[in-house]
Amino acid sequence: MNHPVDDSYQWPTCAACGHELWVSETGRQACRPCEDKTAKRLAELPGLFQQLNTTASLMRGARKVGAATSGSRVPPIPPRLEVLSLVATGGVATRLRDIEDAWRAALGWTVAPWRGSPTQAVPEHAKFLINNLPWAADAYDSIDQDVEDLRRLHDECTAALTGERRPGRVNVGYCPAADEETGGVCGNQLTASAGSPRIQCSNCGTEWPDMAAWRDLRLAQEAATRMGVAA
């Protein structure tokens, strides 16, 4: 014989991951594991940003050097667009600031003060969010969105640095290396990947290890194009 069961009661769950809360977590918006993971991501973001920003500035340097040296209309080596979109205004710094502003609004505080360039602002926003995360996990009713946003932001930064995603590679023109026997140009499509300035031809193995070498690469590509022998 079955006893009637009142199934209208629902055990409280974490707003971010949906897992049931422990009794000791009752009344919280997000569970402790979600809070811990978010805190770890926030702590790592400034370092990830710094690495991304280094790569990005290398890219900008490449463009400038190419323009000044050749004076031609040869397009620059394409910058890593996803890296640039993360380090520029609208990227990591802006997305952290938007979360900080939302938390401040919920707390009845004034909006985030001006923190300077993205490089200066990212650690400051991260610090604010880490300091106030215990409150947000406890009482902020939109914490689920922010846990998710911060997870995605962290993923985007990590992916841009490791270059494991296909869109993380960009074409940087044809390999201008000459075959030692035939003297012909290799002509293989070269690609560059996230987080590393190293370019290596998958066909002939010629390598351009750093930004100075990129400049040589670009000059060699221009020369090969002028000779009309590029693929």
Contact residues for Zn ion, defined by CB under 5 A: 14, 16-17, 31, 34, 175, 177, 186, 188, 201, 203-204, 206
Element (H or E) spanning 69, and its range? Answer: helix 32-70
The residue behind tokens 């911060």 is: 150
Q: How far is the CB of 231 from Zn ion (least distance, A)?
A: 10
Q: How far is the CB of 201 from Zn ion (least distance, A)?
A: 3
C-alpha distances (whole Å) from 169 to each of 25, 190, 191, 193 are 44, 10, 6, 4
Pick the closer one to Zn ion by CB: 13 or 57. 13
Pick the closer one to Zn ion by CB: 34 or 157. 34
Q: How far is the CB of 14 from Zn ion (least distance, A)?
A: 3
- CA–CA separation, 227 and 25 (whole Å): 71
Q: How far is the CB of 158 from Zn ion (least distance, A)?
A: 21
Pick the closer one to Zn ion by CB: 120 or 203. 203
Q: How far is the CB of 17 from Zn ion (least distance, A)?
A: 3
30-37, Cβ contacts within 8 angstroms, sequence gap of 24 or more: 30/136, 30/137, 30/143, 30/144, 30/147, 32/137, 34/137, 34/147, 35/133, 35/134, 35/137, 37/147, 37/151
**Count of alpha carbons within 13 Å of 160, Cβ hemisphere only?**
27
Listing DSSP states for 15-39 in one string gives TTT-PBPPGGGTT-SS-HHHHHHHH
C-alpha distances (whole Å) from 167 to each of 63, 156, 160, 162, 163 are 21, 12, 9, 12, 8
Pick the closer one to Zn ion by CB: 157 or 186. 186
Pick the closer one to Zn ion by CB: 108 or 183. 183
Pick the closer one to Zn ion by CB: 116 or 205. 205
Q: How far is the CB of 190 from Zn ion (least distance, A)?
A: 7
